[in-house]
A = this chain, B = another copy of it.
Amino acid sequence: MSYLIDGLQYANWSEKIFRQMRAGGVDAVHVTITYHETFRETVLVIEQWNRWFEQFPDLIFQGRTADDVCRARETGRTAIFFGSQNPSCIEDDIGLVEVLHTLGLRFMQLTYNNQSLLASGCYEDEDTGLTRMGRQVVAEMNRVGLVVDMSHSGERSTFEAIAQSTRPVTISHANPASWHKARRNKSDDLLRALGQSGGFLGLSVYPHHLKDGGDCTLQSWCDMAALAVDLMGPQNVGIGTDLCQDQPDSIVEWMRVGRWTKAIDYGEGSAANAGFPSMPNWFRDNRDLAGIRAGLRAAGLDEATTDGIMGDNWHAFFARSFGRQDAPTTKQDAAE
């Protein structure tokens, strides 16, 4: 049986959700721990996670290597891998890349919608590509094993990150724009280039990224998955649901507005639809993740490809991405 991995969630975490992860047989989740938070604020979130790890050791533990996914399966727990959706957590300090990797950060987006110190976000009028600091930080992320995530970046910035990075880049949560046109979804050209570089796409279940929004059917979504496999290659696609379970609407406002404006910004929503959108009825929480398997088979994907999308592809991506490039420290890293 393949691994079951969700490549992006940002829930209002609780014992209930951790128990749903176990009920759903989820081996690993990449969780967002920070958006616009400073380094010190991000450390406060890590401290909260440390308390959850201490409080619920039978349900969850902190994942650091691909081997931890195996350990999760063997011990009946879910491995939690940390990620950031914006580089605010490294402030203007490249030294924080390694510090945060040591604390367990395994993914970092170069931007979240807006221009950052590193690159341009997908909502800016002008995408000027990687900045001077952006090129330096990508090299440092490559060195320590922190994955470059371009989910919320502009197209030129993403092409440049793919070209600049010596290790595979990910778009952890988005879909092909040729299936559903949205600011956050990605062009076929971009996805082909990402796949050819060994990069990775996590397919999103967030309604703003779906054809027909929350009414999108599982069949339609799985047809889209087949399209993504055609564009990216069967080994370069997984799931990144973008599950924002149990979050109050104040959180989506924080995600969109941070401290960068005094006005309101609706991001992918609108004044009439400002809060979190409702998820499709076939994906409410972690217990529904495994149910996607049957839909993928029904969409004509073979068993190996389906196993890959459900988790084996993410597992292989973790194995080649999280170790240090300069000084192998584990057997797994050395084997790369």
Q: Which bracket fits the contact residues of A?
A: 20 to 34
Q: Is A269 an interface residue (CB 8 A)?
A: no
Cβ-defined contact, B99 with A46, below 8 A: yes
Cβ of A247 within 8 Å of any chain B Cβ, yes or no, is no
A26-72 interface (Cβ within 8 A of B): 39-40, 43-44, 46-48, 50-51, 54, 57
Given contacts A39-B40, A326-B54, contact A47 B102 (CB under 8 A): no
Task: Tell me, yes or no, whether A189 is within 8 Å of chain B by CB.
Answer: no
Q: Chain B contacts of A96 at CB under 8 A?
A: 43, 47
In the bound complex, how far is the Cα of B39 from the Cα of A40, in angstroms?
Answer: 8
A251 surroundings in chain B (CB, below 8 A)? none
Q: Bound state CA distance, A43 and B96, in angstroms? A: 8
Report how far A305 CA is from B48 CA in the complex, Å. Answer: 45
Interface string of A76-116 (1 = CB under 8 A from B): 00000000000000000101101100111000000000000
Contact B327–A57 (Cβ < 8 Å) = yes
A47 partner residues in chain B, CB cutoff 8 A: 93, 95-96, 98-99
Q: A43-B39, A57-B327 are in contact. Are A51 and B95 (CB under 8 A)?
A: yes
Which residues on B sit within 8 Å (CB–CB) of A104?
102
Within 238-253 of A, Cβ neighbours of B (below 8 Å) are at none
Name the residue on B nearest A144 (C-beta).
B50
A254 to nearest B CB, angstroms?
A: 21
Q: Which of B44, B48, B95 is within 8 Å of A44, CB to CB?
A: B95
1/0 per residue, CB under 8 A from B, across A109-149: the answer is 00000000000000000000000000000000000000000
Q: Which residues of B contact A51 (CB under 8 A)?
A: 95
**Residue contact B327 to A98, C-beta cutoff 8 Å:** no
Residues from chain B with a CB closer than 8 A to the CB of A54 are 326
C-alpha gap A129/B248 in the complex (Å): 45
A103 CA / B99 CA spacing, docked (Å) = 7
A95 to B47, CA, bound (A): 5
Q: Shortest distance in angstroms between A100's beta carbon and chain B's nearest beta carbon?
A: 10
Could you tell me the distance in whole angstroms from the C-beta of A57 to the nearest C-beta in chain B?
A: 6
Name the distance in Å between A261's Cβ and chain B's nearest Cβ. Answer: 26
A231-B93 Cα distance, complex, nearest whole Å: 49
The distance in angstroms between the C-alpha atoms of A95 and B50, with both chains bound, is 8
In angstroms, Cα B44 to Cα A96, docked, is 8
**Cβ of A192 to closest chain B Cβ, rounded Å:** 36
CB distance from A290 to the nearest CB of B (A): 28
Closest to A94 in B: B47
Q: Determine how close the nearest CB of chain B comes to the CB of A62; give it in whole angstroms.
A: 9
Chain A 291-334, CB-CB to B under 8 Å as 1, else 0, gives 00000000000000000000000000000000000110000000
Q: Which residue of B lies closest to A48 (CB)?
A: B95
In the complex, what's the smallest C-beta–C-beta distance from A38 to chain B, in angstroms? Answer: 9
Give the Cβ gap from A263 to chain B, nearest Cβ, in Å.
30
Give the 6 A-B residue pairs with the shortest CB-CB distance, closest first: A47-B95, A50-B98, A102-B103, A43-B99, A40-B40, A57-B327
On A, residues with C-beta under 8 Å from B are: 39-40, 43-44, 46-48, 50-51, 54, 57, 93, 95-96, 98-99, 102-104, 326-327
| 5 examples of A-B residue contacts, CB within 8 angstroms | A47-B98, A50-B99, A51-B95, A102-B103, A103-B103
